[in-house]
Amino acid sequence: MPVPPVVMISSYPPRLCGIATFCEEAREFIAAGRPERDVFVISHLDGEGEGVFPLIDMSRRDWWVPVAEQIEKLQPCAVHIEHEYGLYEYVDERGHGDENAGFLEMLNALSRWPLVIEPHTVHGRLTEREANFVYRCCKRCDIFLLKCHYQKWRLDWNFTARGWTTPRNVMVVPHGARPDHRWSIKEVPRLREELGLNRNPDLGRHLVGLIGWIQSNKRWDILTSMWEEIEATVRERTGVEWDLLAAGAMRDPNHQSDYERYKGQVELLEQKGLAHYYEFVPRGEEYYKMMAVCDFIVLPSTDETQSGTLARIIALNKPYVTTAPMEGLTAQTIESGGGLLFTNRNNLRDAVIQLACDEQLRLELGHRLEVYLDEVVSWEVVARQYEQAYDYAFEANQTGKAAELDMEF
């Protein structure tokens, strides 16, 4: 008798979307953990691949109806939904959104199946609209997954402050990171050759990386505006030359002006022999290789709850510098001990100089990330936690009794 499949509902490649890539990686490791069981995906119309059903048509108000019909055909053991507000927002002919009302209707239609919702945006301080939506999702699903522990205890604060009873079906499963993309220092010359970086004879041996999608919130300009001063300071203290490797591409046309400004600043530094700009689509193995050739990464994000970019940094055990306080970025930096945090320009400058001047510190931070990856956020570890979530969801669905998981505090 065939094993009932897991069905994931999400955006999916080739869409250039962080959640699409997340779903692709999560699916790979969920499937590897139970080879006898299929893992299907119901995606938006632009999703492709074996076992992918591109059925979500957001031009329809009732976009969720074909999804529910396909779920009925597949008879899953669990339905695992990746949620981001923009993925399921129906917008009418007047430009008015339905505030994810269709998503809630879908949950009602799927209520006979074990439901696991994995939201990708749950801020520490919820607006009234966000709080209402999250509360309704918790009530309509069997297990509600959060990425970070702070989200769980802040959710309790958000709900009790409004006089609401906090749902107990909330579980923390961290953002997964690949355990199979770690290259040794000895392999870096080969990777540089594969990426074509060796065609630039002026590119130094030591690199600080700004890697990923070029977006307004990633604020490359903070580092580029002070890089000349940083490089001069490091060279004076150590006698070693460093270059800035800025690599990525624009994903959202709304960020065009900032993309051009950030790129232009890097190109000015390139003319001085201090940086190199490399245009590529941050997806797949090339994304990992581009980070792997860097000694450490700077991630100056000003708006992030959790980050696929940080997951790749952790996968490569790369020391890094990132923004604080910045929700998931700060939480994972504290928990892993693998990065330095900055809150202002001086902090950032000092942190970059410190990492560039201190090889032993870079090695220590990299080792901490290696342990954190192996023990906490490896997709192999995360996939086992998903299995536990599916078991909780199945039991709750079968018994009609809501799961009661421990509170964080």
Residue 189 is predicted with a pLDDT of 93
Residue 226 is predicted with a pLDDT of 96
The pLDDT > 70 percentage for the chain reads 99
Residue 289 is predicted with a pLDDT of 96
Q: In 3D, which of 288, 322, 99 has the Cα closest to residue 217?
A: 322
Our CA angle for 345, 350, 352, nearest 5°, is: 95
- Distance, in Å, from the CA atom of 81 to the CA atom of 360, rounded to the nearest integer, reads 42
Average pLDDT of the residues in 99-103: 97
Query: 121-137 pLDDT, tens per residue?
Result: 999 999 999 999 999 99
List alpha helices for 3-148, DSSP H.
18-33, 64-74, 101-109, 128-140
Residue 305 is predicted with a pLDDT of 62
Neighbour tally for 185: CB within 10 Å: 8
Q: In 3D, which of 199, 274, 288 has the Cα closest to residue 244?
A: 274
Neighbour tally for 253: CB within 10 Å: 7
How far does Cα 20 stand from its chain's mean position? 10
Average pLDDT of the residues in 32-54: 98
Is the pLDDT reported for residue 304 higher than 80? no
The full set of domains in the chain, from first to last, is: 6-176+379-399 (3.40.50.2000), 185-377 (3.40.50.2000)
Contacts of residue 23, Cβ cutoff 8 Å, sequence gap at least 6: 8, 10, 11, 12, 41, 82
SS3 42: strand
What's the whole-model pTM score?
0.95
Q: What phi and psi values does residue 195 have, to the nearest 5 degrees?
A: -80, -10
How does strand 52-56 pair with strand 143-146? unpaired
Contacts of residue 111, Cβ cutoff 8 Å, sequence gap at least 6: 140
Contacts of residue 41, Cβ cutoff 8 Å, sequence gap at least 6: 7, 8, 9, 10, 12, 23, 27, 47, 49, 51, 52, 53
Which residue do the tokens 């969920």 mark? 30
Q: Quickly state the pLDDT bin for 200 (edges 50, 70, 90).
A: confident
Residue 303 is predicted with a pLDDT of 83
Say if CB 22 and CB 93 are below 8 A apart: no
Our CA angle for 135, 101, 171, nearest 5°, is: 30
Is the pLDDT reported for residue 1 higher than 80? no
72 forms beta bridges with none
The pLDDT > 90 percentage for the chain reads 93
Q: Lowest-pLDDT range, 6-10, 137-141, 261-265?
A: 261-265
Residue 320 is predicted with a pLDDT of 98
Q: Quickly state the pLDDT bin for 306 (edges 50, 70, 90).
A: low
Residue 164 is predicted with a pLDDT of 98
- Distance, in Å, from the CA atom of 357 to the CA atom of 230, rounded to the nearest integer, reads 11
Instruction: Give how far Cα 169 sits from Cα of 9, 19, 103, 329, 403, Å.
Output: 20, 23, 19, 25, 5
Segments of 250-348 assigned E as strands: 275-279, 296-299, 320-323, 339-342
Residue 183 is predicted with a pLDDT of 92
Average pLDDT of the residues in 271-298: 95
